[in-house]
Amino acid sequence: MDAHTSNRPIPMSQRLNNPSQQTSVPPVVLVVDDDAAVRESLDTLLRSVDLDVRSFASAAALLRSELPDTVSCLVLDVRLPGLNGLDFQAQLAQAGIHISIIFMTGHGDIPMTVQAMKGGAVDFLAKPFREQDLLNAVTAALALDATRRQNESAQQSVTQRIEALTAREREVMGHVTNGLLNKQIAGEMGLSEMTVKIYRGHMMRKMNVRSVAELVKLCGSVSR
């Protein structure tokens, strides 16, 4: 990493439009590098823009810690003792742990870069890199994680609304989203049209929607 410090961005907690900004909890950057000097340098740089930094000498050390439940990203060296960075990326994916990763290495090559990016890495930085390049990559990674968390929260909210429906209301919702009219739904379910209207009204209120189009969009966001 070089010593260029010009044009350093304003604190990222002020730049990111995410839940951390509203709760005043700073985003967290996890740093994994077996070089203590690199860890110390990155810690100083990232804290200078109001980020919370947690550093580890190996992937195993990170695995033994508790992952932050807030907007975060991982700055990961490729060559590490024990489990290397690329294998660690694959292991996190297999475990269903979603976190934006920025790779850094002093010994990179094209196949390694391709593997990292195919695995979902945000960036791949060759050492020595400019401080600004790392800060830009961290900004992008945190923004991606913030968006992912917002989407997951929204989907969880919709799922909870669906789970609050009765079996009949859920069945009516399925027919409504398939484009059936009340009379057709009544025929399908062996109910009177008035009863279907009652179930439909309850369902729409519980789902907190006012139109069929809104209901279809909401259900589609969960099924994706």
Model pLDDT for residues 68-125, shown as the tens digit of each residue: 989 999 999 999 999 999 999 999 999 989 999 999 998 877 888 889 999 889 999 9
Q: Which of 121, 130, 117 is nearest to 100 (CA)?
A: 121
pTM to 2 decimal places: 0.71
148 and 208, same domain (yes or no): no
175 and 121, same domain (yes or no): no
**How confident is the model over 185-196, as a mean pLDDT?**
96
Ramachandran category for residue 162: left, alpha or beta (phi over 0 → left; psi -120 to 50 → alpha): alpha
Report how far residue 132's alpha carbon sits from residue 136's, in angstroms, rounded to the nearest whole number. 6
Q: What CATH number did the domain enclosing 193 receive? A: 1.10.10.10
Task: Round the average pLDDT of the chain to a whole number and report it.
Answer: 88
102 domain-assigned: yes
pLDDT digits (tens, 9 = 90+) for 156-180: 899 999 999 999 999 999 999 999 9
4 domain-assigned: no
Query: Which domain covers residue 121, as residue numbers?
Result: 12-155
151 and 168, same domain (yes or no): no
138 and 70, same domain (yes or no): yes
128 and 173, same domain (yes or no): no
